[in-house]
Chain A
Amino acid sequence: MKNKIKVLRAEHNMTQAELAAEVEVSRQTINAIETGKFDPSLPLAFKISRLFEMPIEDIFQNE
C-alpha cells in the first residue's frame, strides 16, 4: 500500500517521532509505514487521517 505520510509530515513540519507520539505508536512503526514495509490497521489509518485532516483514501492508496 502506498501512502503520502512522508509528504504530509514534511508539509506539517513534523518529525517521525512527533507523528509517532501523536498517534501513539513507536517511531519505527511510522518509518515502516512510510517505507511501505508495514500496512497500518484501520484505527491507526483513521488516527493519521484525522491528524492531517484529510480523507483516508487521499493518504493511503492500494497499489
Chain B
Amino acid sequence: METKQNSWKDASKKNIRQLAYWTGGWVVTMAIASFGQKYFWEGNTVLSIIFIFIATLVGIGMILMNRKYINSLDEMQRKVHIEAMAIALGVGVVGGLSYSLLDQANVIGFDAEIADLVMLIGITYLIATFVGNNKYR
C-alpha cells in the first residue's frame, strides 16, 4: 500500500516538477527573445527570428507538458482545473475585448497591451483554482 501511495504521489510530483521546468524555460526564452532584440542585437532580424523560434518551440513543449499534467490529475482535481480554465478563458475573451474597445474608444490613456491580457488570464486562473480547491475541501 505504501509503495502504491508513493508511486502515485511521486508521479504527480514529477509531473509538477517537469511542468515547472518547461514553464521556467519558456519564460526565460521569451525574455531572451523579447529583451535581446532591444538590448543585445538591435536590428539583427536573423537572431530575432532564431530566438522567437526557440521560444515558440519551448512554449509548445510547455503546452504538451501542461496537458500531460492535467491528464495525470485525479478526477476531482481535473474538474477544479477545467472549471478554472473555463473561467480564465471567458474572462480573457470578454475582458480582453472590452479592454481593446476601451483603447479604441480612447477611454483609457494608454495602449491595450497583450501582456495585460496574459496577466489577467493568469491571475484569474490562479484565483479560480484556489476557490475551486476550497469548494471541495
- Interface set of A (CB-CB < 8 Å, partner B): 17-18, 20-22, 24-26, 28-29, 31-32, 37-38, 40-41, 44
Contact = CB atoms under 8 A, between A and B. Distances in A.
B4 A37 contact: no
A10 B64 CA distance: 41
Given A18-B1, A21-B1, A28-B136, A40 B75 contact: yes
A32 B4 CA distance: 21
Interface residues of B, number: 14
Most buried by B among A18, A22, A28: A28
B5 A26 contact: no
A19 B77 CA distance: 17
Given A32-B136, A37-B136, A24 B4 contact: yes
B8 interface: yes
Interface string B38-79: 000000000000000000000000000000000000111101
Nearest to A40: B75
A46 to B, nearest CB: 13
Contact of A21 (B8, B133, B137): B8
A29 B76 contact: yes
B76 A17 contact: no
A21 B74 contact: no
Contacts of A28: 76-77, 133, 136-137
Contact of A37 (B1, B8, B74, B135): B135
Given A29-B76, A37-B135, 7 more contacts: A21-B5, A24-B8, A24-B74, A28-B77, A28-B137, A29-B77, A32-B136
Interface in B1-59: 1-2, 4-5, 8
Contact of A26 (B1, B2, B74, B135): B74
Contacts of A37: 135-136
A22 B75 CA distance: 15
